[in-house]
Amino acid sequence: MRIKLTLGYDGTDLCGFQRQNGLKTVQGLLEDALKSLYGEDICVSASGRTDAGVHALAQVVHYDCGKRLLTERIVGGLNYYLQGAAVISKAEEVGEDFDARKSAHRKTYFYDMYFGDCENPVLKNRAYFAGKTPDTDAMRAAAELFVGTHDFLAFRCEGSSAKTTVRTVFSCSLDEINLYGSSAVRITITSDGFLYKMVRIVCGFILRAGQGKITNARISSLFSDPAAALPKIPLPPQGLYLQKVEY
């Protein structure tokens, strides 16, 4: 049996998705819950590995097992054992050709940042405090530069095992929102795949454009001349959310 799970989690107290000895991770918690439910060791494969502090609204994983359980029992049982550390919203039986990572066509992340004279304590682990309000029109124009098929070598951190740095970004938009009384923006990016810390780096460049620290022409030049990239400064993880994975 192959089972597909959709789950969400608050990444604040988690050391990312991937299991790490002695650390609290999503994979570790989920595989421990699966062992309690099935009585056997089960490994999960995810659509992607979120970093420490990053949140997910609809992460997708799959696993293989030898015992058939009703999907309702899987959801209820796993949520019982997870005790709120992550929440399973859906379990589905799928064919053996389904792979949570390889079968994914599109992934969508969004990044929340807010502005003001001082930090909003409610948003400490939910969004990034960026200080003075930037030029949101400039940010929106910068976001549009990332749409299309490009070499994103200049927009990743070292440590990725990706065979190619070319990705297609289907949309990159900016919306002005209100977060618990604070003026904020949400940058939403949909792509066929992301490189290591790519979203946080892209959002960092978009913010810098709004702060007048970089021009759109300079950002565009990084696609053709990644070796001349400016320092890659990924924004902090607490503002990043994996919104959905499409198959």
112 catalytic residue (yes or no): no
Query: What contacts 247, CB < 8 A, 6 or more positions away?
Result: 60, 98, 103, 104, 105
Q: What angle do CA 53, 29, 237 make, to 5 degrees?
A: 5
CA 78 to chain centre: 22
- Closest to 177 (Cα-Cα) out of 110, 121, 125: 110
> Which member of 13, 32, 51, 192 is catalytic?
51
- Closest to 28 (Cα-Cα) out of 40, 12, 16: 16
Pinpoint the alpha helices (H) of the chain. Answer: 26-38, 71-82, 136-144, 198-210, 216-224
Residues designated catalytic: 51
